[in-house]
């Protein structure tokens, strides 16, 4: 029995120590950020330059934007009562609250320069922050084209719905087709 227990003890150590060849291979590995990213808080005059990465919706009551820092950015970790100031380094992730006046979800994958330029009274207990958002000329051209493409698709869908409605005697059409009739592009001679 003693031999078996010793073998079990040796196997258990494997969970704590790596074989020498693997330990050498991973010795230069860098730590990855695994916790919730530190958070940036808005205040008049504060600014940062970062790449918009994602919208974290895991908590349905509190969505947040996730960004990748492009320079060191002062942030914080912990809750309101246990706040700890930290600096997020270039390349690391940080989060910020979703603000109605800052639609960052439209800029995923783009580098953004954000500045809090002031506040505005909106009839609520807390004033609303006013932001400035700048993007590169190249990203602006890309964004403009994407918006044009979305408008064209929306207009095409609208026109198709009007054709279907006309083919249905003016009555609204559900789910893009008329019951017992072919699609509008086939039913309307001017389509």
**CB within 8 Å of 8: residues ≥ 6 apart:** none
d(CA 135, CA 3): 68
Q: What is the pLDDT along the chain (191 residues), one digit of tens a residue?
A: 455 677 667 666 666 788 889 889 999 998 877 777 899 999 999 999 999 999 999 888 889 999 999 999 999 998 878 889 999 999 999 999 999 899 999 999 999 999 999 999 999 898 999 999 999 999 999 999 998 999 999 999 999 888 888 888 877 776 555 555 544 444 444 33
Q: Which of 151, 148, 171 is nearest to 161 (CA)?
A: 171
**Domain-by-domain residue ranges, the chain?**
39-134, 143-187
pTM as predicted: 0.66
Q: Which residues contact 35 (CB under 8 A, 6 or more apart)?
A: 77
Q: Contact, 92 vs 69, CB < 8 A?
A: yes
Distance, CA of 191 to CA of 184 (rounded, Å): 7
């Amino acid at each position: 029995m003693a031999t078996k227990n010793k073998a079990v003890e040796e196997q258990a150590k494997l969970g704590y120590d790596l074989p020498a060849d693997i330990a050498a291979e991973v010795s230069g590995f860098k730590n990855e950020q695994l916790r919730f990213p530190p958070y940036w808080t808005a205040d008049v005059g504060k600014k940062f330059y970062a790449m918009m990465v994602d919208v974290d919706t895991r908590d349905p009551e509190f969505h947040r934007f996730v960004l990748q820092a492009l320079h060191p950015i002062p942030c914080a970790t912990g809750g309101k009562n246990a706040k700890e100031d930290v600096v997020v380094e270039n390349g690391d992730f940080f989060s910020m609250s979703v603000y109605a006046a800052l639609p960052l979800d439209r800029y995923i994958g783009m580098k953004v320069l954000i500045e809090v330029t002031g506040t505005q009274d909106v009839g609520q207990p807390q004033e609303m922050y006013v932001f400035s958002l700048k993007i590169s000329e190249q990203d602006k051209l890309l964004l403009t084209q994407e918006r044009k493409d979305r408008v064209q698709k929306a207009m095409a869908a609208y026109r198709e719905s009007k054709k279907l409605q006309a083919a249905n005697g003016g009555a609204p059409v559900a789910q893009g087709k008329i019951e017992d009739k072919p699609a509008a592009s086939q039913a309307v001679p001017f389509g």
